[in-house]
Structure 1
């Protein structure tokens, strides 16, 4: 290309860019051509949804309290201002009940709140989240019956024999995480034999308070025992059993009371 021709091409390009710049400036382009929209036509904007997930209720077997735990999905994309657990106890209509609010605490991404319930309660609960300057998110109402699944502990039973009155006075050393409802004594008069058989019949005696008394005891006879304790939720613990009971003789010369444990020997 000759020098003159190069000059013409250069002048033409200058005029072309000048025209483009003038057009862009007079069309609110701020002096530039913005091709961003054209280049991004195929790119979709990412949206996030705040959700309540992993909602779980667990019963503390020591106290009967219910702990509600959950997490918030995508919470890092929202301005969370308050997280609460709302609960009501033993209500007839959970959809129109008055709910009590507890602030939820968070640790390692898991939110928790402890409801002061007791065994036997029906707990209704839901989660409420306030975010982005007044927006709210609530879970559906859920419920849990606070059930005691822990059996009592029966450490020992004390038997005291009164040869004059012909009675056994029986006391229990037993505990429960809630409360003991009933104490049971199963006994059989074996006569002068110190063994049980398939035909041995046990008589059941129960009480809600202690000591428990068994009357009409015959001096010199052997008696077979086993014991049970039941709590308010129906959990039962047993000490000895019908096929392998504790056997002792009603003998005035024996040192009383006698403490019965699993390690006791008759």
Structure 2
């Protein structure tokens, strides 16, 4: 082999070993003249730090209903958020829409407490809430979660404190006033009643009549003076939760005595 050819081979080997050494150094320590790692990584919501790839993601996305207001709190975490330059975290929501994928969404700014992000949606009981998370990071990149939904359901029953009953012997009418509360609103007030005649014992398989009203005041007509009446009371809220005062097997029994003191305040502790 000629001397010149040997020199060219030697130079080639030197360049080759130098390139191998540069490549090994660059991948071990993150140095080198050129950073090729971005060519090999998925750039969708990812960043590379010392040859470790991190992905930004929304995790633990959940929604809870405030039983006092009907508002919905959306909470979530951002996986690997410390490796990204996050400029905006928002919750987008829409109420009672037919097509959540093509709806107009209202934007709320999420706040972070102890690594948990959250935002409160001003919904009401009965609403269907559609929501998603949008994160802006690294200046102009955007991460958007899938759309989720929740139906705002009132699971809290009303409280029926008492019922005031007044007897008008001349008109033959019971006038009743309910004292009841609910976290949302009471839809219907019911009084179930049965004329026992002059016997104050509830018969087997007793069948009660019912009167109802959308207001806490209602009355029962055709009341006979001197008769015993069995009564129990129910209130129902807008979500069909109910509360009861007495019941059909253990009703409140009252005598329509025109000379008695009226009105009578009926509570669960009361008896006749």
TM-score (norm. length: structure 2): 0.83
Give the structure 2 partner of residue 83 of structure 1. 89
- Alignment partner of 1:48: what SS? strand
Give the structure 1 partner of residue 41 of structure 2. none
Between the aligned partners of 1:235 and 1:41, the Cα distance in structure 2 is: 65
Give the structure 2 partner of residue 136 of structure 1. 142
- Alignment partner of 2:257: what SS? coil
Give the structure 1 partner of residue 52 of structure 2. 46
Larger radius of gyration: 1
Give the structure 2 partner of residue 246 of structure 1. 252
Shift of residue 45, structure 1, vs aligned partner: 2.4
State yes or no: 1:221 paired with 2:227. Answer: yes
Shift of residue 40, structure 1, vs aligned partner: 6.8
| Structure 1 spans left out of the alignment, 5+ residues | 1-22
State yes or no: 1:37 paired with 2:23. Answer: yes
Between the aligned partners of 1:41 and 1:89, the Cα distance in structure 2 is: 51
Matches within 5 A, 1:1-266: 35=21, 37-38=23-24, 45-266=51-272
Between the aligned partners of 1:35 and 1:42, the Cα distance in structure 2 is: 11
- Alignment partner of 2:171: what SS? coil
Shift of residue 41, structure 1, vs aligned partner: 5.8
Give the paired residue count. Answer: 239
Shift of residue 35, structure 1, vs aligned partner: 4.0
Shift of residue 201, structure 1, vs aligned partner: 1.7
Between the aligned partners of 2:216 and 2:235, the Cα distance in structure 1 is: 12
Between the aligned partners of 1:36 and 1:78, the Cα distance in structure 2 is: 29
TM-score (norm. length: structure 1): 0.85
Between the aligned partners of 2:22 and 2:103, the Cα distance in structure 1 is: 54
Between the aligned partners of 1:76 and 1:142, the Cα distance in structure 2 is: 25
- Alignment partner of 1:76: what SS? helix
| Structure 2 spans left out of the alignment, 5+ residues | 1-10, 30-49
- Alignment partner of 1:201: what SS? coil
**4+ residue stretches of structure 1 with deviation over 2 A?**
32-45
Root mean square deviation of aligned Cα: 2.2
- Alignment partner of 1:47: what SS? strand
Between the aligned partners of 1:185 and 1:200, the Cα distance in structure 2 is: 15
Point out the more displaced range, 210-219 or 78-87: 210-219
